[in-house]
Structure 1
Amino acid sequence: MTDNSTDCSMDRVEELMHSVQLVIYVPTFVFGMVLNTLALVVFCVVLRKWNESTIYMTNLALMDLLLLLLLPFKMHAINNKWDANRKLFCSFLESMYFVGMYGSIYTITCIALDRYVAIQHPFRSKEFRSPRAAIIICVVIWCLALGATSPVYSFHNNSDEPFRCFHGFSDAGWKPALIGCVEVFGFLLPAAVVVVCSIKSIHTLKQSQRQSVKGHSGERIMYSSLCAFLVPFTPYHLGVFLQFLVRQRMITACQSKTNIALFVQVAMCLANVTCCLDALCYYFIVKEVRSSRDTIRRSISHRRTISTSEV
């Protein structure tokens, strides 16, 4: 997504990023695949408790795996140009990459909102929260992400020259209306929901007179969701906005354009780290579910003991 169009050469940036991208992508791919695969095994095989939290986390793991499966293609595109007849395949890969990214963003948003409703309105939440509703919301996220990423198929110029996939989007990919939608609906609006819901939920848990293990676990889930959202996605969307200013010729200084191009590519690499950061959410959700199970088992055991003593 760098600007290679004018008198300012980006060769130095591209040369530097060849090594940086591989250094970030390889461990992200390895650890991300392991962590997200283990998460699916735990949620689907070990726990097998389908509540709202485990459904959203399963969907998040699927989104992360989709994004991770595309990293080898991105790594190949770092040093290799593709033939023009592979543009449709490249556009499909790019579209799926953004489906994974923005699907993750909205899944984390739904997790924060679901937690907010459960903590702030524990009695009324039963009217809105259910495993069926969570499944429907996850399906809607997939449909919206697939539909919203369809413009990606027009992001490459119609030429017969070799090209680099995941790089060098045409002017169609930098239209003000499109970038505005990406920034507002793809990041700012979800970020506002995640931050507000998380802060209010954490404040409520801290003010609660009963600071149980489940309460501490709930705080950790909110903190980990905030970390998994803000750390990778804030720099990336800031970089997209700065690169948009370059493409609109609002920033013309060569040194500024070079710095922005470097910042954008580093931010794009770091955005993929969310696939590993999400493992924090998985861990605390599993801990919470197991804690709930232990509480139920102790309650049942206690009732049986009372019944036996009465007999």
Structure 2
Amino acid sequence: MSNCSFEDVDNLMKSLQLVIYIPIFIFGLILNTLALLVFCLLLKKWTESTIYMTNLVLMDMLLLFPMPFKMHATKYHWAADKRLFCSFLESLYFVSVYGSIYTIMCIAVDRYIAIKHPFRAKQLRSPRAALVTCVVIWLVVLGATAPVYRFHSKSEEPFRCFHGFSKEGWNPVLIVCLEVLGFLGPTLVLVSCSVQIIRTLRKSLQSSAQSRACVRIIYSNLCIFLVPFTPCHVGIFLQFLVRCGTITDCGLQNRISLFVQVSMGLANITCCLDAFCYYFITMEIRSSRGSLRQSFSQRRMTSTSEV
């Protein structure tokens, strides 16, 4: 890898990353500010869903904070005495990304309990439980990002923030934890809960219009999660293979470097897509609860008439 030049990729990304980051930053800031104002000022009652969605907004706002610094770092080197500040910004980025992933996973679990087990939901779900869960998410991701402060070497030379991680940043144990615990695990939980919800809705509502609408919303939420996060984690794994010497072809290394940087940049679009997720989740819960209540009422009436 030391004999392979990435100058062409770096020059391309200096302009391409600005094209990606500037629209995401502007729209993300507007959408998440509006969402936060709605949740904090207009909603009269804090429910489990509202608490989770507010936590997701906070994670997205945290993602936006380092973005201007990332845009600056695409073109300019930073002085060596800025390494600690750079590591702090990088840790905020990882806190936001994986905090968002775990929050979305918890939303899926909460949705699963509400729809799959509606009678037990009163014992299993509560605003306090949702709040405690969100606090735990923050504590876990903050603790898990501690290794970020070792990602850069301690050289006195100028460096590029968000680039050029040291060997410690590509430690196999760290990458496995990142891929498995940070993405694959939550993804399996999300997909499993979504599949169970879809099956329950189709059985309970007998393919009604409301059932089909709920199913479409769940598929939309899955796409909003998988489209931004899957490519970047595939890219991280490929870059790990480059770093550990498994992939040695220079041309392939350049393509992987370009893919990683583009996919990591586009993954930030989640802070904009989540705005649609807020709307979808609200509509889904209202629709599914109303439909299930109607379905249960019909069952009770049928049972009464039979008696």
Please give the TM-score of this superposition, normalised by the length of structure 1: 0.88
Is the CA contact 1:227–1:277 (under 8 Å) kept in the aligned structure 2?
no
Equivalent in the alignment of 1:86: 82
* Matching of residue 224 in structure 1 with residue 223 in structure 2: no
Would you say the 8 A contact 2:221–2:280 is kept in 1? no
For residue 15 of structure 2, the aligned residue among 3, 8, 19 is 19
Kept after mapping to 1: 8 A contact 2:214/2:288: no
How far the C-alpha of 1:208 sits from its partner, in A, is 2.3
| Preserved contact between residue 113 and residue 121 of structure 2 (Cα < 8 Å) | yes
The verdict on how the C-alpha distance between 1:211 and 1:59 changes in structure 2, with shifts beyond 3 A counting, is farther
Query: Residues 66-145 of structure 1: matches in 2 within 5 Å?
Result: 66-145=62-141
Q: Does 1:42 align with 2:41?
A: no
- Deviation of residue 223 (structure 1)? 2.6
Find the aligned partners of 1:216 and 1:43 in 2 and give their Cα distance: 28
Quote the Cα distance in structure 1 between the aligned partners of 2:80 and 2:272. 34
Q: Check 1:291–1:48 CA distance in 2 against 1; reply closer, same or farther (3 A cut).
A: farther
Partner of 2:198: 202
CA distance in 1, matches of 2:111, 2:213: 12
| Deviation (angstroms), 1:200 | 1.5
CA deviations 1:198-218 (Å, max 9, x no partner) are: 122122223322777875664
Q: What is the CA–CA distance in structure 2 between the aligned matches of 1:252 and 1:96, rounded to whole Å? A: 32
What is the RMSD of the two structures over their aligned residues, measured on CA atoms?
Answer: 2.1
Change in Cα spacing, 1:22 to 1:187, as seen in structure 2 (3 Å) is same
| In the alignment, structure 1 residue 282 sits paired with structure 2 residue 278 | yes
Q: Secondary structure at the match of 1:208?
A: helix
Q: Which residue of structure 2 aligns with residue 299 of structure 1? A: none
Most deviating of 37-46 and 181-190: 37-46
Aligned mates of 2:15, 2:36 — CA distance in 1: 32
Per the alignment, residue 4 of structure 2 pairs with 8
**Correspondence for 1:184:** 180
CA distance in 1, matches of 2:45, 2:207: 24
Corresponding residue to 1:273 among 262, 269, 290: 269
C-alpha distance in structure 2 between counterparts of 1:49 and 1:213, whole Å? 28
> In the alignment, residue 99 of structure 2 is paired with which amino acid?
G
Determine the C-alpha separation between the residues in 2 that align with 1:229 and 1:29.
Answer: 19
Q: Render the CA deviation track for 1:139-169: whole Å, top value 9, x for unaligned.
A: 0000001000000000100110000000000
Q: 2:144 aligns with which of 142, 148, 161?
A: 148
In structure 1, the residue matched to 2:248 is 252
User: 2:164 maps to what in 1?
Assistant: 168
Q: Which residue of 2 aligns with 1:235?
A: 231
Residues 242-262 of structure 1: CA deviation (Å, up to 9, x unaligned):
000000000000011011000
Any stretches of 5+ residues in structure 2 without a counterpart? 292-307
Any stretches of 5+ residues in structure 1 without a counterpart?
296-311
How far residue 45 of structure 1 moved from its aligned partner, in angstroms, is: 1.2
Q: 1:177 and 1:288 mapped to 2: Cα distance?
A: 39
- 8 Å contact 2:63–2:93 — kept in the other structure? yes
How far apart in 1 are the matches of 2:67 and 2:205? 46
| Letter of the structure 2 residue corresponding to residue 46 of structure 1 | L
Deviation at 1:195, TM superposition (A): 0.8
Give the Cα separation in 1 of the matches to 2:220 and 2:115. Answer: 17
Task: Measure, in 2, the Cα distance between the counterparts of 1:57 and 1:213.
Answer: 26
Change (3 A) 1:250 1:128: same
Shift of 1:41: 1.2
Counterparts of 2:29 and 2:130, CA distance in 1: 24
CA contact (8 A) 2:102 2:137 kept: yes
Report SS of the residue matched to 2:205: coil
- How many residue pairs were aligned? 291
CA distance in 2, matches of 1:285, 1:202: 14
**1:298 alignment partner in structure 2:** none
